[in-house]
Amino acid sequence: MGGALEGVKVLDLTRVLAGPYCTMILADLGADVIKVEAPGGSDETRFWGPPFQNGVSAYYLCANRNKRSITVNLKSEEDREIIRILAKEADVLIHNFKTGSMEKWQLDYDSLQKINSRLVYCSITGFGETGPYRYLPGYDFIIQGMSGLMSITGSEESGPMKIGVAMVDILTGLYSVISIEAALLERGRSGKGQKIDLSLMDTAVSSLANVASNYLISGKVPRRLGNDHPNIVPYSKFKALDGDIIIAVGNNRQFATLCEVMGLSEMAMDARFCTNVARMENKLELTRILEYQLQLKTVNEWIKLFSEKNIPCGPIHTIDQVFEHPQVLARDMVVQVEHPEAGMVKLVGSPVKLSRTNTKIERHPPMAGEHTWEILQEAGFSFEEITYFKENNII
């Protein structure tokens, strides 16, 4: 059986991470994604490294599987006409050029919807296509700083810290998938496409979630709490005998059970700790008592005891431990695909599990222009036309 998005054609004019991550998810779900780059490859991540595997960037490999690749030079009107012809038959076009670029090339939504009224057109920019910052470029690291995310990440001692992966790019890619699928679903009723205007800044601000709500309700500016939770105690990283353990107690019943398992039953009745509000007020004293007791056993010993009583807890794994974990392996979160240059490469599997139309990894992350000839033939170009394009460095 084909994928859930089988029959959906996506024209992908994105690069780096947010856009490619979006289109990889669409491709995993069965969409035919055509990755568009300049001749030689213009996705910067092709050259980001180390590490490389036989010259192929690990970064590029992480977000480009299941796609086909065509190369055209968007600075050439002749090449832009190729994009317009491809857009006539496309269901989705997605790009992450700076605001104004697509208008300059007459590849903007208003231009393309005249030749394909069913086109779902997704724009990803740093700050969106309205507002005083609309023409500025956007980068995940900078947006993490500007959005407030870094101000609440890290500890008072460490100062502001970015998240360990480009999480704003990842979240923007996910919002892009949601928006595109919503627009396609609506198109099924109206028969019309529409434009999607997504920005990294909007995404980052929305991700502040309860921290933003805490500020909007209280007026108090949140501070960096390290691994502590702004609203719940105990909900943090603690030191056991041989390492760190996460304990995430979310209610009074769980706290009472935690105290019982740790041999501190009387503490559950202590006025300083019997409610979450009290525990918030006496967090330092509670942490001191818990860590003193946690030093009596190893991380694995505590996890076994806590898990038997359904107390939320867990270890802190290194990345190698993650990809050796039996649960991760059982869920097919490590997959392999043969690449013509890199050889057999390992990729992170898809977290999307569908019972009938499950995701599939069927194509390696493409080499630049690998499928140009077949894509142009499918679009109706003749052998002579494609040969002309090739001889004149148009593709």
Residue type, 21: Y
- 342, 61 in Cβ contact below 8 A? yes
* Half-sphere exposure of residue 177: CA atoms within 13 angstroms, side-chain side: 20
- Taking a C-beta distance cutoff of 8 angstroms, is the pair 173, 18 a contact? yes
Catalytic residue list contains 28:
no
Which residues, other chains included, contact 270 with Cβ-Cβ below 8 Å and sequence gap of 6+? none
Active-site residue identified among 43, 91, 169, 202: 169
Per the CB < 8 A criterion, the answer to whether 313 and 249 are in contact is: no
Neighbours of 54 (CB within 10 A): 10
- SS (HEC) of 283-350: HHHHHHHHHHHHCCCCHHHHHHHHHHCCCCEEECCCHHHHCCCHHHHHCCCEEEEEECCCEEEEEECC
Q: Tell me the catalytic residues.
A: 169
